[in-house]
Amino acid sequence: MCMSCLRPCRDCLCFREVKRLVRIAFLGITGILMALQLKALKPDYSVYLCLGVSLLIFSFVAEKLSVIMDGLAAIQDCLPLKAGYIQTLMKIIGITYIAEFASDLCKDAGYQTIAGQIQIFGKLSVLAVSIPVLTALLDTIQTFLGG
C-alpha cells in the first residue's frame, strides 16, 4: 500500500513515476558512460552525445507539463487566486528550467562564462516577470496598513 496515495503499490501513480525516474537515470548514466568512452577517440562527438541525451531527457520533462498544468488548475479552483498569478508562476518555472538546462549544457561543453551569462539573464527574466505580482503584494500590504 502506497502511503501517499493509499493504493496498491504497483498500481499507483507514485510507483509508475519512480519507474520512469529510474529509466531516465539509466538513460543519463548510459549516455555519460558512452560519452566518456567516446571522449578518448573524438572529444567533440562526446559533447554532441551529451547534448543529444540531454535533449531526449528534456523531452520527457516536457511531457510532465500537462500533469503540472492540471495540478495548478486544481489549485486555482480551490483557492481564490487570479488566473494571472498562476500564469506568472508557470512563466517563472519555465524560465528557471530553460535557463538551468541551457546553462548546464554550456558548462558541460566547457563554456562557463556563457553559462554564467545565461544564469544572470534567467534571474533577471524571473525578476521582470514577477514585478506585477510584487506590485500587487505591496498594494495589498498598503491597503492593510490603511494607507
Q: How far is CA 63 from CA 26, 32, 48, 58, 69, in A?
A: 18, 23, 23, 9, 11
Burial class (CB in 10 A: 0-12, 13-18, 19+), 1: exposed
Assessment of whether the complete model's pTM goes beyond 0.95 = no
The pLDDT tens digits along the chain (147 residues) read 555 555 556 666 677 888 888 999 999 899 888 988 988 888 888 888 888 998 898 888 877 877 777 887 787 778 776 777 778 888 888 899 899 989 988 888 788 999 999 999 999 999 999 898 888 888 888 888 875
